[in-house]
Homo-oligomer: A and B are copies of this chain.
């Protein structure tokens, strides 16, 4: 049967998936994390270089779902009680990791003689860490059980709630009057949702899941329940204003103590298939055409440097009580901005506050931080990786 209408979808999937994996292979051979190759693949096949694919609704949906499964799988490997234990440090890391990049980004824009509103929006777009990249590197290297990894994960969740607040404040400051009551309610709701699920989700699942599972006759019922929880919490997260991936992560956390190897393998299958869409999808959004102007290119490099240094300092200082090695790891782990910065930039563009050039600068910064961070993470965790290589169950499975 001719299915011409759907021809473009298998083709787009083939191009994206195979390019991502070829570039991942290349990166591994250059002793770089495969993830960097997959993001690069997106830049390469995207509009700026080869022009084989452009971002579209289908690819962006696949990318969103890929990010959800990535965080779900990471959540499955972490105990929420252990995240709670590092909650204080994570809160400090998240807060100073929001303030420093915001101030630094806005200051640079003002020094660059841009308007106040534009400076505020660029600062805001540098605030939120995109946890997917770091989580993928740590998970692939079997490093999720390190203390610093747990601080990074917890701080990234808090960071997402803070990012929601920053964006809300910035939007009302630059675009309309600030409704303090509304803002406080949003913050309260997002915080309550996150804390309740993180604190009691695992307990609730532990009580309900075994009984439910015994009753159900549907095939692979444990995995089906897991997927339902993943999708349900993603919906709730979005409706309280935070990212779907935070909901997916919380679902993973809640299931971490009750899931068996079978469910983990099935989830792993989905994430192996979809995560390349998330990674290459980031690269696909780069538009290099704005950098023909030298001044824009210089601004982009300055903002990139600020994005790196500000998270390193902000988050690192927040984590100093854990010692310098851990503080360094945490600072680097919080560097990637990914799609979150781009969303803020899109809103600014939509409001008419950001120019096309500033938008391109932010997209460049977001993508470049995701490419620069993984090799740095690899270096920062070198001692831990050497120690953990033989004992990690993740690595053993990979051999199979």
Contacts and interface: CB of A to CB of B under 8 A. Distances in A.
A254 to B, nearest CB: 16
Contacts of A61: 6, 9, 58, 61
A24 B218 contact: yes
B17 A227 contact: yes
Contacts of A340: 1
Contact of A2 (B219, B241, B262): B241
Nearest to A11: B235
A269 B260 contact: no
Contact of A21 (B167, B224, B273): B224
Contacts of A344: 1
A306 B125 CA distance: 62
A238 B267 CA distance: 29
B273 A1 contact: no
B243 A1 contact: yes
A30 to B, nearest CB: 11
A272 B266 contact: yes
A236 to B, nearest CB: 9
Contacts of A25: 216-218
Interface in A312-330: none
A164 B262 contact: no
A6 B235 contact: no
B1 A164 contact: yes
A217 B25 CA distance: 6
A192 interface: no
Interface in A226-274: 227-228, 231-232, 234-235, 238-239, 241-244, 247, 260, 262, 265-270, 272-273
A32 B1 CA distance: 30
A36 to B, nearest CB: 13
Question: How many copies make up the complex?
Answer: 2
A58 B223 CA distance: 23
Interface string A17-33: 11001001100110000
B272 A3 contact: no
Contacts of A216: 25
Given A10-B238, A61-B9, A242-B1, A218 B18 contact: no
A381 B291 CA distance: 66
Contacts of A123: none
Given A9-B64, A266-B272, A269-B267, A17 B231 contact: yes
A400 B223 CA distance: 11
Nearest to A247: B10
Contacts of A266: 265-266, 268-269, 272
Given A14-B232, A58-B57, A224-B21, A3 B268 contact: no
A343 interface: yes
A160 interface: yes
A219 B1 contact: no
A372 interface: no
Given A13-B231, A21-B218, A220-B398, A164 B2 contact: yes
Interface in A170-218: 216-218
A331 interface: no
A66 to B, nearest CB: 12
11 contacts: A1-B163, A1-B242, A2-B164, A3-B244, A6-B61, A21-B224, A34-B219, A140-B219, A223-B272, A227-B273, A266-B269
Given A4-B238, A21-B218, 19 more contacts: A1-B128, A1-B163, A1-B343, A2-B241, A3-B238, A6-B244, A7-B239, A9-B64, A10-B247, A13-B231, A14-B231, A18-B228, A25-B218, A29-B217, A34-B219, A57-B58, A227-B272, A265-B265, A268-B269
**Which 8 residue pairs of A and B lie closest in terms of their CB atoms, listed nearest first?**
A269-B269, A266-B269, A14-B231, A28-B217, A10-B234, A265-B265, A7-B238, A25-B218
